[in-house]
Structure 1
Amino acid sequence: MLKKLFGTLSAVALAVAGLVAIPAAISPAAAAPPGEAFDPGLIISDSVFFDFGSMDVSGIQAFLDSRVSNCRAVDPAIDCLKSIKVEIPETPATTPQEIGPCSAIPANPTASAAQVIYSVATACGISPKVLITTLQKEQGLVTSTKPTEYMYRAAMGFGCPDSDPGICGKVYVGLFNQVYRAAKQLRWYGNPKGSFTYWKPGRTVSMRFNPKS
């Protein structure tokens, strides 16, 4: 299960608002909306969350490039997110019995992070902005100038349950594995037949605010 689901949604909603595809010139991110504009009943719309075509590979790459001007990584295996090359294994489409759904993803032995994000976003129907935001929220990978191996092992926080944080980074490891499995899980959260029985999409659910929040 993804760690801190609602923290993810809140972070995604704020960041997606200012995360834009950048064709040539890099424009600054838009400021977060004022507090009075926050609607706890509509953190992020489905149309934004599942907009898998909101950025192409070049737009994703341009955004990643804009976040790190001076990469200090010395090991190509754990390079900065904008520069790292990883393997995308041949990945078949999910079956009706699996969490998903995601279409097949072709193999690529030397994929960039932008290609990983785009491939998974397109196959699983998740906005690449959501995936980028989660990579930053969980491990700070988007802006890290010298990532660690652990940051890639637990890139999306998948397999990092709050009930057993010690297992984080020990299963479902690697950039592609993390992004792909997290995207499948996010699709599951949005499926009334597969999501939480008490937080099913399409229903109004009363949730109390923590008095200490």
Structure 2
Amino acid sequence: MNDARSRILGKVRAAMGRDTTPTPADVRAARIGALGDSAPQRPVWDESDLERFCRCIEDAAGTWVSVPTLAQVGPAVADYLVERNAGDTVHRAPDPRLDQVAWPEHVAVEHATDGRQALAGVSCAEAGVAETGSLALLSGPDNPATLAFLPDYHIVVLGAADVVPWFEDVWQRMRERTGFPPRSFNFITGPSRTADVEQTLQLGAHGPRSLHVILVENMP
């Protein structure tokens, strides 16, 4: 430790009435003491977790639709492409779950290893957070992270049963997975946005300008 830093930290300790540098054990004990034994305060709501999740998606400028099974994901994607005038080609993640999707004949489906050539990309989320309408996406060969950030239109397939109340629940679920943590883990809430210029909201500033969630009621 250099002399200048020693003097500064010495003054801080003196102001706090301490004569010595706290050990790592002291720091940990202080943090535990500050947190206490009670569970952290969490928001509560009267509606179901799924209802809250869908409402928060809309509040974040996203859209959603519900389908019974993975087979119906294809027609739902096709409807969305027409609605957004987003062409007739989608780049889907290599996720094996998407192999069960019945794609309409007029939709061209490409297997994406990234998202660089995609106008519309389809990937799978591992969980949804009712608290904020956020999606939890794990990177990997089956779901490249770039597919979630580079296309203009990001379409996310999520099992309705994978919506959990709070962020803490996501971590609990993920720790039980083999191979966790992945190289990157992303929470996504709505499309990309910024209001840096004159506080005018612009969607798609640093990523997808549209986020669409397809909730599968019976996800395998």
Tell me if TM exceeds 0.5.
no
TM-score by length of 2: 0.22
Query: Per residue, is there more strand in 1 or in 2?
Result: 2
TM-score by length of 1: 0.22
Larger Rg: 2
Query: Per residue, is there more helix in 1 or in 2?
Result: 1
